[in-house]
């Protein structure tokens, strides 16, 4: 099913309402100052008819296309989403206005999701949860915010992902189409994880963390853990485990990543083995599949030596910054073919 296309009139109205601008080619292109880098030369180009944005100096802020290995030109809605630091759904609402129905611009839910929403109890965040941003318990919230900062999350990330807390317990909500569908929490003190009660009828394997922040019909990156998804950022979801489930494959199909799926598991035996099973599931659904593994970098932390195995550890244990980690991720993207599968099997044996 195709997505309904935003009209050029809606795009133009939003640009003119929010930015100082210039036009060229008889209004076919709008030029604004890139809001992400202090631009003052109107280098950022928006084509309302095509719904595409492009900074002629380079699009480092957008991300890499796994198919070409080159920086993406950015869709207009992705630009709005990044500019407003909001979900894809809220970006649509911002452009369309409060009165227009956004349903036709979104890929519909599956029939299974509709049945579940009617038959199963609704999921609620654990009692006592509140948003970290604006928490009533400022002292405890600051402890959590500082800890998340050590893991690489900014205050903007905390707002974007709507991260909550309950005392010294961090709560990560899962949203689909702006509805809470799941959550998981972790204690700051003893690394204890909690999830909704099994009586709710759903499990972690039914969802993808970060679903609502993904631009449909683009590309998709999949990590194992939530912190790894935060580390890689844009267009990234967390599966909560190495092997994808059939329900998670359904969610991926709803997002329709026509430019491909990049598997970004941990660089350990379970992670590498998961590439085989996940490739089989994704390739069987006519999706282009790539993978990228975090480099094996030795570190010494608190007197103990080790080797980084996941993307977040490149920050917390090795000390790489966000740009360096993304560059490593992009440099290591490989298309999965028979030659790569043979090489990966030798890695598992090793």
Positive or negative torsion for Cα 142, 148, 149, 150: positive
Q: Report the C-alpha gap between 84 and 97 in whole angstroms.
A: 15
**CA torsion 226→232→236→239, rounded to 10°?**
-30
Per-residue pLDDT, 281: 97
The residue among 213, 217, 272 whose CA lies nearest residue 88 is 213
Domain 215-350 class? Answer: alpha beta
Least confident of 13-17, 198-202, 209-213, 290-294: 198-202
At 5, is the pLDDT very low, low, confident or very high (cuts 50, 70, 90)?
confident
DSSP 273: H
Stated pTM of the model: 0.87
What is the percent of the chain with per-residue pLDDT over 70, rounded to a whole number?
A: 90
Identify the residue with better confidence: 291 or 62: 291
Q: Can you give the pLDDT at residue 27?
A: 86
Q: What is the pLDDT of residues 14-26, one digit of tens each?
A: 999 999 999 998 8
Fold of 8-105: DNA Primase; Chain A (3.90.580)
Q: What is the mean pLDDT of the chain?
A: 90
Collapsing DSSP to helix, strand or coil, 89 comes out as helix
Q: pLDDT tier at 116 (50, 70, 90 boundaries)?
A: very low
Tell me the percentage of the chain whose pLDDT exceeds 90. 75
Task: Spell 143-182 as b/e; 16+ CB within 10 A means b.
Answer: ebbeebeeebbeeebbebbbbbbbebbbbbbbbbbeeebb
Q: What is the pLDDT, as a whole number, of residue 117?
A: 44
Give bridge partners of residue 75 from the DSSP assignment. Answer: 52
Strand-pair partners of 30: 23, 46
259 Cα distance to chain centroid:
15
Q: What is the 3-state secondary structure (H, E, C) of 208-219?
A: CECHHHCCCCCE
CA angle (202 as vertex; 197, 204 as ends), nearest 5: 90
Instruction: Average the pLDDT over 80-108 and give the result.
Output: 85
Tens-digit pLDDT profile for residues 23-72: 998 889 999 999 988 899 999 999 999 999 988 887 776 766 676 666 66
**The pLDDT of residue 107:** 59
Whether residue 346 is predicted with pLDDT greater than 60 in this model: the reply is yes
Distance of CA 59 to the CA centre of its chain: 18
CB atoms within 10 A of CB 254: 20
71 vs 154, higher pLDDT: 154
Cα–Cα distance, 350 to 267 (Å, whole number): 13
Give 175's strand partners: 180
Indicate the burial class of 339 (C-beta count within 10 angstroms; 0-12, 13-18, 19 or more): exposed
pLDDT at 67 (0 to 100): 63
Q: Could you check whether 8-105 and 215-350 share the same CATH topology?
A: no
Question: What dihedral do alpha carbons 208, 212, 218, 223 form, nearest 10°?
Answer: -30
Q: What is the DSSP string of 41-73?
A: S--EEEETTTTEEEETT--TTT-B-TTTSSBPP
Give the residue among 330, 82, 71 at the shortest CA–CA distance from 322.
330
C-alpha to C-alpha distance for 63 and 13, rounded to whole angstroms: 27
Q: Domain limits of the chain?
A: 8-105, 107-202, 215-350
Give the model's pLDDT for residue 70: 64
Residue 110: pLDDT above 70?
no
pLDDT reported for residue 72: 64
pLDDT of residue 327: 92
Nearest CA-CA partner of 195 in 287, 274, 125, 265? 125
DSSP 8-class letter at 314: H
């Amino acid at each position: 099913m195709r997505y309904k296309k935003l009209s050029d009139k809606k795009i133009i109205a939003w640009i003119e309402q929010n930015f100082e601008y210039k036009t060229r080619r008889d209004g076919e292109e709008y030029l604004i100052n890139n809001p992400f880098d202090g631009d003052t030369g109107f280098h950022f180009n928006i084509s309302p008819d095509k719904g595409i944005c492009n900074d002629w100096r380079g699009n480092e802020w957008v991300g890499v296309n796994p198919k070409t290995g080159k920086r993406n030109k950015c869709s207009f809605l992705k630009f709005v989403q990044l500019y407003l630091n909001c979900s894809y759904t809220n970006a649509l609402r911002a452009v369309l206005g409060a009165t227009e129905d956004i349903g036709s611009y979104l890929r519909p839910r599956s029939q299974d999701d509709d049945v579940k929403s009617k038959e199963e109890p609704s999921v609620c965040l654990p009692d006592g949860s509140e948003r970290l941003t604006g928490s009533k318990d400022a002292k405890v919230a600051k402890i959590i915010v500082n800890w998340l900062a050590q893991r690489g999350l900014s205050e903007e990330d905390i707002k974007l992902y709507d991260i909550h807390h309950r005392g010294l317990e961090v709560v990560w909500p899962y949203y689909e189409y702006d509805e809470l569908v799941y959550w998981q929490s972790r204690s700051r003190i003893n690394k204890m994880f909690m999830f909704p009660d099994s009586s709710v009828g759903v499990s972690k394997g039914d969802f993808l963390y970060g679903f609502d922040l993904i631009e449909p019909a683009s590309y998709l990156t999949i990590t194992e853990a939530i912190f790894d998804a935060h580390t890689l950022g844009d267009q990234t979801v967390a599966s909560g485990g190495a092997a994808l489930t059939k329900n998670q494959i359904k969610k991926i199909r709803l997002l329709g990543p026509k430019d491909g799926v990049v598997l970004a598991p941990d660089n350990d035996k379970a992670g590498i083995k998961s590439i085989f099973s996940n490739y089989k599931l994704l390739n069987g659904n006519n999706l282009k599949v790539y993978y990228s593994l975090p480099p094996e970098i030795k570190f010494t932390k608190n007197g103990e030596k080790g080797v980084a195995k996941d993307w977040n550890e490149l920050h917390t244990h090795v000390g790489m910054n966000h740009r360096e980690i993304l560059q490593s991720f992009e440099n290591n993207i490989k298309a999965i073919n028979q030659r790569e599968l043979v090489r990966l099997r030798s890695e598992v044996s090793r």
